[in-house]
Amino acid sequence: MYAKLCETDNPHCESIIERDIHRTLPEFKLWTEDLHSGNNKLYNVLKAFSNFDPEVGYVQGMNYIVGLMLFYIRDEEQVFWCLVSLMHHRSRNYRSVYIDGFPKL
């Protein structure tokens, strides 16, 4: 499922993600891989999540959450599922911080 989500095109979110990749923890130089080669883990996870949850899509700030997760968890698919779990956790529902109108804020 994760691989398919990474392959699905989402031009609107992809262009926003592309702009934010290089701004994410730039001092560590972790995201230097070509975005479209399939080797940029940050890009892959953010793109997959934007396809997984189109209501949220991609919102600035998610890049730092995923970036920190990738700093500690090297497997991008595990990071993706951690993000899904974090966003959809029943009691916290962080997803509502990012959906249109930001109801949790």
Torsion of CA 83, 63, 60, 38, to 10 degrees: -100
Please tell me the distance from the alpha carbon of residue 26 to that of residue 19, in angstroms, as a whole number.
13
pLDDT for residue 52 is more than 90: yes
The band of 62, judged by pLDDT with boundaries at 50, 70 and 90, is very high
pLDDT for residue 38 is more than 80: no
Please tell me the distance from the alpha carbon of residue 47 to that of residue 2, in angstroms, as a whole number.
10
pLDDT for residue 46 is more than 90: yes
Please tell me the distance from the alpha carbon of residue 52 to that of residue 6, in angstroms, as a whole number.
9
Q: Which of 66, 87, 76 is nearest to 23 (CA)?
A: 66
